[in-house]
């Protein structure tokens, strides 16, 4: 009963803080990047950047919710860093899907931007094959420098840099191997994931956990609190990789399952033997992710954030389709009543946004 009351209080506080303070600031950040993307001279890159902003604006706004974990005076910098990183992640992901003579080298060169964004004192390493003009590559560079600049202003940023580097490096390699993989087996990605030695996980669950950016958001938010200690950073890293990261990325794969089947894109949940197998695994991962979140410092807030991210995917229309419904229902049951509350809000938000 006590935990339920704590969670209810955290949900109320987070909802008020998000909608009254964080959401308006996040929207301003997204609109600012729309203006920057509109000025890209290359028509292909401009169209790609604007399309990703249009289609993923809700995700960037939702990512900003991690600022509930930061102290008030550092909240704006956390929002700036998180929104910039999410937008960078989306555009880099789209560029990585472009055809290339050497798909893996192309993806590794592009996805290096994810590591650049959280390495405040290192020279930029990312490279683009197709877009060489300074005014075009500047879009990615501006996103990177925005993330770095905001990050440097956070009081505990030096403490989180090593963990951020590990999260970003895993995501860069997992996404590169995912985009460059051929055939349903994705052998190179499977070998890389197996080499990570994550007990209790199937290889595609490890790959999903590695690709998810939520660990970066949680660490950036932790950097916005001067009371953060090394033990807190270590706990966040263990919670978000693999449990929370795997659940979130598998949920994205779940709602994208039909589209991936039509486009031929790699589907993580497509590796399960059946929808029943997927539902069992997702239920287990959701249970462990919920426990990992609640055990963290500010555990009620992390639990609310997990429920919010889950609700974002579960509110997607595809979550109710036959191939996804068993897994979606298993996650909803395991995460409990906060998801039911947030689903109402996010379904309304999707209608308003026309998403």
Q: With 0-12 CB in 10 A as exposed, 13-18 as middle and 19+ as buried, what is 21?
A: middle
Which percentage of the chain shows pLDDT scores above 70? Answer: 95
| pLDDT for residue 133 is more than 60 | no
List the structure tokens of 295: 């055990």
List the structure tokens of 240: 């978000």
| pLDDT for residue 278 is more than 70 | yes
73 CB neighbour count, 10 Å cutoff? 10
What is the arithmetic mean of pLDDT over 166-183? 92
pLDDT at 322: 62
What is the arithmetic mean of pLDDT over 325-335? 89
With 0.75 as the threshold, say if the pTM is over it. yes
Domain boundaries, the chain: 2-353
CA distance 124 to 116: 6
pLDDT at 96: 92
pLDDT at 67: 98
Q: What is the CA radius of gyration of the chain?
A: 19
pLDDT at 323: 67
Q: Are 193 and 175 in contact (CB under 8 A)?
A: no
What is the separation of C-alpha 240 from the centre of its chain, rounded to a whole number of angstroms?
11
- At residue 26 the predicted structure's pLDDT band, cuts being 50, 70 and 90, is very high
173 CB neighbour count, 10 Å cutoff? 22
Helix ranges, 97-213 (H): 103-116, 134-152, 157-180, 187-195, 203-211
- Measured at the alpha carbon of residue 315, what is the angle toward residues 93 and 204, in degrees to the nearest 5? 45
pLDDT at 137: 59
What is the arithmetic mean of pLDDT over 219-240? 97
Q: With 0-12 CB in 10 A as exposed, 13-18 as middle and 19+ as buried, what is 4?
A: exposed
Least confident range from 103-112, 203-212, 256-265, 332-341: namely 256-265
CA distance 353 to 355: 5
pLDDT at 319: 84
The fold of the 2-353 domain, in CATH, is: Farnesyl Diphosphate Synthase (1.10.600)
pLDDT at 288: 97
Distance (Å) of CA 86 to CA 101, 192, 220, 261? 27, 24, 12, 25
pLDDT at 69: 97
- At residue 6 the predicted structure's pLDDT band, cuts being 50, 70 and 90, is confident
pLDDT at 183: 65
User: Containing H/E element for 231?
Assistant: helix 230-238
- At residue 41 the predicted structure's pLDDT band, cuts being 50, 70 and 90, is confident
CA distance 319 to 303: 21
User: Average pLDDT, whole number, for the chain?
Assistant: 92
CA distance 73 to 193: 39
pLDDT tens-digit series, residues 72-87:
999 999 999 999 999 9
| pLDDT for residue 68 is more than 80 | yes
pLDDT at 131: 66
CA distance 51 to 197: 37
What is the separation of C-alpha 17 from the centre of its chain, rounded to a whole number of angstroms?
21
List the structure tokens of 150: 């905001």
DSSP per residue over 22-54, as a string?
IHHHHHHHHHHHHHHHHT-SSHHHHHHHHHHHH
Token pair 């990312």: residue: 126
230 CB neighbour count, 10 Å cutoff? 12
């Amino acid at each position: 009963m006590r935990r339920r009351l704590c969670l209810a209080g955290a949900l109320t506080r987070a909802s008020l803080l998000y909608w009254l303070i964080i959401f308006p600031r996040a929207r301003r950040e997204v609109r600012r990047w729309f203006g920057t993307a509109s000025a890209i001279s290359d028509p292909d890159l401009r169209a790609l950047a604007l399309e990703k902003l249009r289609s993923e604006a809700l995700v960037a706004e939702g990512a900003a919710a991690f600022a509930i974990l930061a102290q008030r005076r550092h909240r704006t910098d956390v929002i700036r860093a998180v929104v910039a990183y999410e937008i960078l992640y989306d555009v880099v992901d789209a560029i990585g899907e472009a055809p290339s003579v050497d798909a893996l080298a192309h993806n590794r060169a592009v996805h290096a931007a994810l590591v650049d964004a959280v390495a405040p004192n290192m020279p930029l390493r990312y490279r683009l094959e197709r877009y060489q003009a300074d005014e075009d590559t500047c879009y990615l560079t501006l996103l990177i420098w925005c993330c770095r600049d905001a990050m440097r202003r956070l009081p505990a940023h030096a403490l989180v840099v090593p963990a951020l580097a590990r999260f970003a490096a895993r995501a860069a390699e997992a996404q590169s191997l995912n985009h460059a993989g051929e055939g349903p087996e994705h052998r190179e990605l499977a070998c890389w994931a197996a080499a990570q030695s994550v007990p209790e996980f199937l290889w595609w669950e490890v790959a999903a956990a590695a690709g998810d950016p939520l660990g970066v958001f949680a660490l950036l938010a932790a950097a916005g609190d001067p009371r953060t200690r090394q033990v807190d950073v270590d706990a966040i890293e263990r919670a978000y990789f693999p449990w929370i990261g795997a659940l979130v990325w598998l949920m994205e794969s779940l709602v994208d399952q039909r589209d991936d089947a039509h486009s031929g894109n790699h589907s993580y949940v497509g590796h399960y033997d059946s929808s029943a197998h997927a539902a069992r695994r997702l239920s287990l991962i959701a249970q462990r992710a919920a426990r990992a979140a609640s055990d963290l410092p500010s555990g009620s807030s992390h639990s609310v954030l997990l429920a919010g991210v889950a609700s974002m995917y579960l509110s997607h229309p595809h979550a109710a389709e036959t191939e996804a419904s068993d897994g979606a229902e298993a996650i909803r049951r395991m995460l409990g009543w906060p998801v039911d509350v947030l689903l109402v809000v996010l379904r309304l938000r999707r209608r308003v946004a026309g998403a």
